[in-house]
Amino acid sequence: MRLLILTLTVVLLLFQYDFWFGKNGYLDYKETASEIAVHKEENTKLSQRNQVVAAEIKDLREGVDAIQERARLQYELVKPNETFYRISKENK
């Protein structure tokens, strides 16, 4: 009887070891879950960036106002008889 109990205990411990430390075990699951969370965060950032780029492309395709605005901001272009003011933030 003792041999049977000892054998069953060893089998139970082997299954527990396999569950916690084996291939596709609990530790692998936790590691994969953390990697998925990192990838989801990265995908969210990329999605936001793509939305900004798509909005810029739409503005450039649809109107001349966007081209003028971009030229004024990037290249400081002004129309004749117009005064250009640039307001910058104070560095602290």
Look up tokens 């299954």; give the residue.
15
Look up tokens 């081209």; give the residue.
67
Domain map (residue ranges) of the chain: 1-75
| Average pLDDT along the chain | 85
Whether the pTM exceeds 0.75: the reply is no
Q: Evaluate if residue 60 carries a pLDDT over 80.
A: no
Average pLDDT over residues 59-84: 76
Q: Residue 35 and residue 52: Cα distance in Å, rounded? A: 26
Average pLDDT over residues 24-51: 93
Look up tokens 């041999």; give the residue.
3
The answer to whether the beta carbons of residues 46 and 52 sit under 8 Å apart is: no
